[in-house]
Structure 1
Amino acid sequence: MTNRRHFLSKTAAAFAGVQILPRSVFGANEKLSIAFVGAGGKGWHAVQSLQNNDSVNFAAFADVHESRATEARKANPSVPFVSDFRKMLDQHGKHIDGIIISTPDHTHHFTAKTCMQAGKPVYLEKPLTHSIAEARDLMALEQQTKLACQMGNQGHSGGGILVLEEWVKAGVLGNVNEAHCWAGPIWSYPDARPAEEPVPAGLDWNQWLGPAAMVPYSSKYLPAQWRGWFEFGNGTLGDWACHNMDAPYHVWGLDCPSRVEIESSGPSKLSFPARVKITYTFPASATRGEFKLHWYHGADHALKRPPELDAARTFPEGGTLIHGSKATVLMGTHAGTPRVIPEAKMQELSTSLPKVNLKRSNHWDNWLLAIKGQEICRSNFAYGGRLTETMHFGNIALHVNRSLTIDPVTRSIIGDEEATALMHGPAARQGWKV
C-alpha cells in the first residue's frame, strides 16, 4: 500500500506527466479510495450506488451545503467531511484514488479541472460542463493527463445501447436517417430575478456560487431548481439530452452538427424556454448519410404518440424513437429497454434478432476498472464532451432565439457573433478561474 500511495503522490506532483495507472500499481482485488464532491442529492445517489461495492473505500466527503450531506454522513460516520473540496484535496489527497463530482453544472469545470490537476481520476455528472469552451478544456486535459475520466450518463453502460448497436449492424431497422428524443420534466422559470432571502445555516453561498457572478441567495435556486437558471444550469435540454440523445449519437457515430434549427416558446435571458423543438443536422460520414436528431420538450412541441405503439403500452415520458425503413424502435430514458413496435413486429422478428451479450461492468465499475487500467471509460470526456457540445449548440440557439449554422470541421458557429460568444460562457468570478 505504501508504494502505491507514494506512486500516486509523485504522480500528482508531476502533473504534466500523469498517465493511466498501470495494472501493476493496483492489485486486482485492492480497494480504491474514492472521495465525493457533493454528498447530497445526486451525490447521495452516488454514495448509495457505491456503498456496498467491495472494491471501494470512502476516503472523504465535501459539500458546501452541510445539511444536504446528512444522510451520507450518518451512513458513514467515520468518513472525513469538509465543506471545501480544495481542503479535502489538501488534507486527504494522498489517500484519494478517484473523485466523484456531483455538483451544479456551473461548477463542473472548476471542480473537475482542479481535481485533475491534482492527478485524480474523476467521475463527473452530466452534462460535462456549463459551456462548450469548458468542455473542450476538460477534453484536452484528459488527453494530456491520460486520467480515467467518466461522464455520468449511466445509460451509456447499460444494455440498451448494446442491443440497439447490434440490431443496427444486423440491418434490423433498415435505413435510418433520423431519430427523435424527448424529455418530460421542464426546467423553466419567469425571466425575473427572485427576491433575496436569508442564507440558511450550513450553506456556504459564496462557495456554492463558485465561478458564477455574485447574486443574492434565494430558495428558488436550490436544492434542484438551479437547473432552470441560465447562470447555473442548462435547462431541460442539459438535464436530459446526455441521457436520451446518447443512443443515436453513439450508434450512428454523430459528432458536430452543421445546422441547429429551433422552434420554441420564446427566449429567456435568465432561464430557458418551456416548450421547445430542436432539429440537429449532422453531415454525412463515410458510414452513413446525413442524419437529423430531433429534440422535444413541453406541451406545444411534444412528440406525438407513434401510431405503431400498441394501445395497451405506455408511451414513456422521456426517451428515444427511431424510425427505420424496415422497423421502428422505441427506447425509454437513459437508452433503456429498446423494443421494436408494434409488438406483433417484435414477435415476428424475435427469432431472427441477434443475440447480445449484456454481461459487462456498470457505469460506476467501468470507471473504477479504468482507474486500475483494466478497462477504458465508455463515456470518457472525449465522447461525453462532444455529446455535451451538441447539447450546448441547441441551448445557444434557444438563448439567441434563432437557428445556427456551424462549421463541423472547425466546430465554430458561422456568422453570429452573439451566439459565438456564448460558446465561451461567462467569465469566471475573481478568484475562481482555474
Structure 2
Amino acid sequence: MGEHSDRRHFLAQATLLAGAMMVGSRARAQADQKLRCAVVGVGGMGGYGMDRALEELPVALCDADQNTLDGAVKRVTDAGHPVPRAYPDYRQMIEEMEGEIDVVLISSPDHQHAPCAVRAMNAGMHVFVQKPMGHNIRECYEMARIAGETGVLTQMGNQGHTGESLRRAIEYLQAGVIGGVYETHTILGRNFGGQGGVPEVKAPPANLHWDTWLGPAPYREYHDGLHPFSWRNWRDFGTGTIGDMACHNLDCLFFALKVAQAPTYTIECLNTTGGADGWWSQDNVVVYTIPARDDMPELKSYVYDHTGLVGGAMKQIAADSEMNLGEETYYLGGKGYYMTGGTASSARQLPIEGH
C-alpha cells in the first residue's frame, strides 16, 4: 500500500467498488455443498476463523505476516484440503477471487475490519468479522448500511454472546431474582494504552509486509509494541480497553437490563491516566447513567479497566460472597446481588449459598 492512503479515502474507494463488483458469489452453498471460505488475519483470534474454514473449504488466506501466512497454508494442506491461494493484501484477494469466495472471516487488527468487510460485501461475499465491528462508530453505521444494500449475510463475533450461560443470566435478571437492578460494576480485566511517546523506529521484520499491515492508518515507521498483539494500545489501530473488552463484559448487562430502550444516557469519567502521543488512556473508570426504561429503574453502571481500580465497597461485597475480584460484572438489585463472569461464561446469584 505504497500510497499510504488515509482512512477516509480508503473507505470511500472501497464503497465505490459496489457498482463494479456486485456480480460476485451469492449464497452459493446449499445443503450438500461446502462454503468457499477466505480468512483474513490467520493468527491470534484468526485461529477461530481457521477452525471454521477447515470445516468447510478454505480457498484463500490473507495475512500481512508472511510467516503466519505460510504456517496457515500448511495447516490447510495438512488437514487434507487443496492448497489455498495466499495473499498479504486482502484487496488483491477480493479483486482476483471475485465469484470464487462465499464468505470472508475477518480477524485482522481493528483498523482493518471495516475496509476489508466493505470490499467483501460489495463483491457479494458474506462476512463474519470479529469484534469490535469497526474502528469507530461511523464505520459500524457504514458497514450496516452496505450490508443492507448488498443483501449479504453478516455476523460479528463476540465470545459468549450465543452461549447458554448468557441466555440464562438474562432470563434470571429479567425475572427479578435480585429485584430491580440499580447499580452494576464491571471489571474489564485489561489496561491497554500508555504514555511516553513513540518508541524508537526500526526496520520492520523481514516477514512483515509493513505497508499492508498499516493499511488505511496514517503512515508511521515500524517500531516495537505493535505486531502481533500490542497494537491494541494505540489509537490508530485499536480501540482501547473499553473498545476491546466492553463488548464482552457489558454484553449480558446491555441485553438483560434493556439498555437499548433508553433514549439517552450520560457518561462521566472518574479516573484516567496517560493517553498522550497516540496511546490510549489507561486506568479508566467511567460511570454510565441509564434512565429508567420499561420496567427497569435508573441504572448507574460503573466500568473499570482492571481490578486495581475497584473501590472498597465492591471488594467487600466480593469478600462477603467468597469471590476473588476478576474479569466480572456485579449486579446490585433491590433483593440481592448477581455476578456474571467475563463473556458471561459463568453466572451466579450472590452470596453463593443463595444461588
Instruction: Tell me if TM exceeds 0.5.
Output: yes
Q: Distance in 2 between matches of 1:19 and 1:89?
A: 11
What does 1:371-410 correspond to in 2, within 5 Å?
none
Residue 144 of structure 2: aligned partner: 139
Deviations 1:345-385 (A, max 9, x none): 11xxxxxxxxxxxxxxxxxxxxxxxxxxxxxxxxxxxxxxx
Query: Is 1:39 equivalent to 2:42 in the alignment?
Result: yes
What is the SS of the residue equivalent to 1:76?
A: helix
Q: Counterpart of 1:75 in structure 2: which amino acid? A: R
Q: Distance in 1 between matches of 2:52 and 2:216?
A: 29
TM-fit CA distance, 1:182:
1.3
Q: In 1, Cα distance between the equivalents of 2:258 and 2:60? A: 38
In structure 2, what is the Cα distance between the partners aligned to 1:18 and 1:233? 31
1:295 aligns with 2:303: yes
For structure 1, the residue ranges without an aligned partner over 5 or more in a row are 1-11, 347-434
Q: Secondary structure at the match of 1:93?
A: coil
Where do 1:308-319 residues align within 5 Å? 308-309=317-318, 313-315=322-324, 317-319=326-328
Q: Distance in 1 between matches of 2:351 and 2:88?
A: 52
The AA in structure 1 aligned to 2:146 is L
CA positional deviation for 1:121: 1.4
Matched residue type, 2:273: G
Letter in 1 for 2:233: G
Deviation, 1:98, is: 0.7
TM-score by length of 1: 0.70
Structure 1 residue 18, shift from structure 2 partner: 9.8
Is the Cα–Cα contact under 8 Å of residues 94 and 119 in structure 2 kept in the other structure? no
One-letter code of the match for 2:190?
P
Question: What are the Cα deviations for residues 298-337 of structure 1, in whole angstroms up to 9, with x where unaligned?
Answer: 4652355554546795535312111222231111111211
**Number of the residue aligned with 2:338:** 329
The higher-RCO structure (CA 8 Å, 6+ apart) is 1
CA displacement 1:266-315 (0-9 Å, x = unmatched): 35231122211111122333343333322102465235555454679553
1:21-420 → structure 2 map (5 Å cutoff): 21=27, 26-48=29-51, 50-51=53-54, 53=55, 56-77=56-77, 78-255=83-260, 257-269=264-276, 270-298=278-306, 301-302=309-310, 305-309=314-318, 313-315=322-324, 317-346=326-355
| TM-score normalised to structure 2 length | 0.84
By how many angstroms is 1:43 displaced? 1.1
Q: Distance in 2 between matches of 1:111 and 1:134?
A: 11
Q: Please provide the CA RMSD for this pair.
A: 2.6
| Whole-angstrom distance in 2 between the partners of 1:125 and 1:195 | 31
> Partners of 1:206 and 1:293 in 2: how far apart?
41
Query: Equivalents in 1 of 2:134, 2:321: separation in Å?
Result: 40
Instruction: State the AA in 1 paired with 2:174.
Output: K
The CA deviation at 1:146 is 3.2
What is the letter of the counterpart of residue 296 of structure 1?
Y
Does the 8 Å CA contact 1:282/1:290 hold for their aligned counterparts? yes
Summarize deviations over 1:208-253 as a string: whole Å, max 9, x none.
1111111100122111110001111112112211100111112222
Q: In structure 2, do the counterparts of structure 1 residues 45 and 219 end up closer, same or farther at CA, with 3 Å as the change threshold?
A: farther
Equivalent residue letter for 1:228: N
8 Å contact kept, 1:283–1:290: yes
| Closer, same or farther: CA 71–314 of 1 in aligned 2, 3 Å | farther
CA contact (8 A) 1:18 1:147 kept: no
